[in-house]
Structure 1
Amino acid sequence: MQESVKANLRRLVKRLLRKYGYPPEKQEKAMVTVLQQAELLCRDWTVTSAPTAPFSFMFVVIN
């Protein structure tokens, strides 16, 4: 996974954890877990063309 993608994902995860009141002392562990899960999910994906919708990546990650 590219560093820019990881950085954006970290930013989004931090925002969601704060929004829903996740305990601050557990946020780092949650972030590491989410990044590991995202890497496992995208390991077999290949990029064949640009996404058609601006939020198609987020749709895949959330589901």
Structure 2
Amino acid sequence: MSFTDIALRNAKSDDKQTKLFNKRGLFLLVTRLQGKLWCLKISARRQGEAALIGILT
């Protein structure tokens, strides 16, 4: 999925956190309080972790 401006601005979350991924490990994390955080999936020693890049306002 490629991100579009409209899709990112209209992203909502219900009771749980929601992740919107693209093909290269970048994702938008939408929190329960409707906060939006840019994250990048990083794999080191086969353990999946995410690095916070910034906040979408």
TM-score between the two structures when normalised by the length of structure 1: 0.23
Structure number with larger C-alpha Rg: 1
Q: Which structure has more strand as a fraction of its residues?
A: 2
Q: Which structure has more helix as a fraction of its residues?
A: 1
